[in-house]
Amino acid sequence: MVQMNEVAKIRQRWIDAGSPACDHLELDQEFYLGARDDDWACLSCGEEFSRQEVRAMREARDD
């Protein structure tokens, strides 16, 4: 679980690094003010995804 403000920092670091390509392998569920929501974020680049997008990515990777 990752806090939304952490995700914002990760994203800024990634942009500062020139926004390299990311495979989004380190997805974690986002946590906002202690309440679970349906958003996920990549811990490498800070990009955010819906649960449906995460499921689609995982299914694609299993092939």
Phi, then psi, of 2 in degrees rounded to 5? -130, 140
* Residue 45 within binding range of Zn ion, rule CB under 5 A: yes
**54 near Zn ion, rule: CB under 5 A:** no
Binding status of residue 11 toward Zn ion by CB under 5 A: no
Residue 24 near Zn ion by CB under 5 A = yes
One residue of 19, 22, 32, 56 binding Zn ion per CB under 5 A: 22
Question: How do the residues of the chain divide into helix, strand and coil, expressed in percent and rounded to 5?
Answer: 40, 30, 30
42 is a contact residue toward Zn ion (CB under 5 A): yes
Pairwise CA distance, residues 56 & 49, whole Å: 11
Chain positions contacting Zn ion, by CB under 5 A: 22, 24, 42, 44-45
